[in-house]
Chains A and B, each alone.
Chain A
Amino acid sequence: MAIFILKRVGLALITLWILSVIVFLAAQVLPGDPARAILGPLAAPSAVHALDHQLGTDQPLLTQYWHWISNFVHGNMGKSYSYQTAVAPLVIKALGHSLELAAVVFVVVVPLGILGGVWAALAAGKPRDRIISVVGLSSTVVPELVSGIILILVFGIALNVLPISATWPPGASLPTQLYHLILPAIPLVLILFGYIEQMARAGTIEALNSDYARTAILKGLPRRTVIRRHILRNSLLPTITVVATQVGYLIGGLVVVETLFRYQGIGSLIVNAANAKDFPMLEAGILVIGIVFMVATLVADILYSLLNPRIRYQAAE
Chain B
Amino acid sequence: MSIDALPAQSAAAIKSGRRELRSEMLHELVRSKTFMVGAGIILFWVLAAVLGPTLVPQDPYAQNLNLINHAPSSAHWFGTDQLGRDMFARVIVGARDILIVAPLATLIGTVLGTGLGLVMGYFRGVTDDIISRFVEAFLALPVVIIAILGVVALGPSNGTVIAVIGIIFAPLIARTVRSAVLLERELDYVAAARLRGERSPYIMFVEILPNVLSPVMVEFTVRLGYAVFAIVTLSFLGFGIQPPSPNWGLEIATNYGVVAAGYWWEVLFDALAIATLVVGVNMVANSIEQVIEA
A residues adjacent to B (C-beta < 8 A): 14-16, 18-19, 22-23, 26-27, 30-31, 137-138, 141-143, 145-146, 149-150, 152-153, 156-158, 164, 248-249, 251-253, 255-256, 259-260, 270-271, 274-275, 277, 282, 286, 289-290, 293-294, 297
State how many angstroms separate the Cβ of A255 from the closest Cβ of chain B. Answer: 5
User: Is B153 touching A252 in the complex (CB atoms < 8 A)?
Assistant: no
How many inter-chain contacts with C-beta < 8 Å in the A-B complex?
124
Q: Are A138 and B279 in contact (CB under 8 A)?
A: yes
**CB-nearest residue of chain A to B270:** A149
Q: Are A259 and B260 in contact (CB under 8 A)?
A: no
The reply to whether B144 and A149 form a contact with Cβ atoms under 8 Å apart is no
Asked whether, in the complex, the Cβ of B232 is within 8 Å of the Cβ of A18, the reply is: no
Instruction: Kindly report which residue of chain A lies nearest to residue B236, judged by CB atoms.
Output: A145
CB contacts under 8 Å to A, within B251-294, are: 252, 256, 259-260, 262, 264, 267-268, 271-272, 274-275, 278-279, 282, 286
Complex contact A294–B140 (CB within 8 A): yes
Q: Is the CB of A30 within 8 A of B142?
A: no
Chain A residue nearest to B134 (CB atoms) is: A18
Q: Determine the residue in chain A with the shortest Cβ distance to B281.
A: A141
**B150 in the interface (beta carbon within 8 A):** yes
Roughly how many angstroms separate A184 CA and B234 CA in the complex, as a whole number? 19
Chain A residues closer than 8 Å to B238, beta-carbon distance: 271, 275
Q: Do B279 and A15 touch (CB < 8 A)?
A: no
Q: How far is the CB of A299 from chain B (nearest CB, A)?
A: 14
Bound complex: CA of A164 vs CA of B232, how far in Å?
Answer: 21
How distant is the Cα of A249 from the Cα of B136 in the complex, in angstroms?
A: 15
Asked whether any CB of chain A lies closer than 8 Å to the CB of B149, the reply is yes
Closest to B279 in A: A141
Partner of A251, one of B133, B142, B275: B142
A289 to B137, CA, bound (A): 12
Check if A145 sits within 8 Å of B153, measured CB to CB: no
11 contacts between A and B (CB under 8 A): A145-B236, A145-B274, A150-B268, A153-B264, A153-B267, A157-B259, A248-B139, A248-B141, A260-B256, A274-B152, A289-B145
The answer for the CA separation of A146 and B238 in the assembled complex, in Å, is 16
* Cα–Cα, bound, A157→B256 (Å): 12
**B225 contacts chain A at the CB level, 8 A cutoff:** yes
Selected contact of B237 from candidates A26, A141, A271, CB within 8 Å: A271
Q: Is the CB of A290 within 8 A of B141?
A: yes
* Closest Cβ neighbor of B130 among chain A residues: A18
B239 within 8 A of A: yes
State in angstroms the CA–CA spacing of A138 and B275 once bound together: 10
**Are A30 and B275 CB-contacts (below 8 A) given A248-B141, A270-B145?**
no
Interface string of B195-226 (1 = CB under 8 A from A): 00000000000000000000000000000010
A contact residues around B153 at 8 Å (CB): 26-27, 30-31
Which 3 A-B residue pairs are closest in the complex by CB-CB distance? A252-B142, A30-B153, A18-B137
List the B side residues contacting A289 at CB < 8 Å: 141-142, 145
The answer to whether B144 touches A142, judged by C-beta atoms less than 8 angstroms apart, is no
Tell me if B143 counts as interface (CB < 8 A to partner A): yes
Bound CA span A260–B232, Å: 14
Task: Give the residues from 148 to 181 in chain B that come closer than 8 angstroms, CB to CB, to chain A.
Answer: 148-154
Q: Is the CB of A145 within 8 A of B144?
A: no
Q: B275–A252 contact, CB under 8 A?
A: no
Q: Shortest beta-carbon distance, A95 to chain B, in Å?
A: 14
- A30: B residues at CB distance < 8 A: 153-154
Nearest CB on A from B69, distance (A): 14
| A143 touching B232, Cβ below 8 Å | yes
Cβ–Cβ < 8 Å partners of A23 in chain B: 149
Contact status A141-B278, CB under 8 Å = yes
Shortest CB–CB separation between residue A237 and chain B, in angstroms?
21
Query: Which residues from A are CB-within-8-Å of B142?
Result: 248-249, 251-253, 255, 289
B61 at the interface (CB under 8 A from A): no
Contact of A259 with B237 in the complex, beta carbons under 8 Å: yes
Bound Cα distance A156, B259 (Å): 10
List residues of chain A with CB within 8 A of the CB of B229: 143
- Please determine whether A142 and B267 come into contact, CB atoms closer than 8 angstroms: no
Contact B267 A26 (CB under 8 A): no
B225 touches A293 (CB 8 A): no
Expressed in whole angstroms, the Cα–Cα distance for A93 and B152 within the complex equals 24
A286: which of B141, B151, B275 is its contact (CB, 8 Å)?
B141
**Residue B233 is within 8 A (CB to CB) of chain A in the complex:** yes
Cα distance A22–B133 in the bound complex, in angstroms: 12
Whole-angstrom distance from the CB of B100 to the nearest CB of chain A?
19
Residues A15 and B271 in contact in the complex (CB < 8 Å), given A26-B150, A138-B279, A141-B278: no
Task: Tell me how far the C-beta of A45 lies from the nearest C-beta in chain B, rounded to whole angstroms.
Answer: 22
Residues from chain B with a CB closer than 8 A to the CB of A158 are 264
The smallest C-beta distance from A169 to any residue of chain B, in angstroms, reads 17
Contact in complex: B267, A149 (CB < 8 Å):
yes
Task: Check B152–A277 contact: CB distance below 8 A.
Answer: yes
Contacting pair A251 B260 (CB below 8 A):
no
Contact call B140/A142, Cβ cutoff below 8 A: no
Closest to A277 in B: B152
A23 to B249, CA, bound (A): 26
- Which residues of chain B come closer than 8 Å to A18, judged between CB atoms? 133-134, 137
Give the CA-CA distance A275 to B148 in the complex, in Å: 9
Task: Among A249, A251, A274, point to the contact of B239 (Cβ < 8 A).
Answer: A274
- The residue in A143, A156, A253, A271 that gathers the most chain B C-beta atoms within 10 A of its C-beta is A143
Given contacts A31-B153, A143-B232, contact A15 B268 (CB under 8 A): no
A75 to chain B, nearest CB (A): 21
Q: How far is the CA of A249 from the CA of B142 in the complex (A)?
A: 6
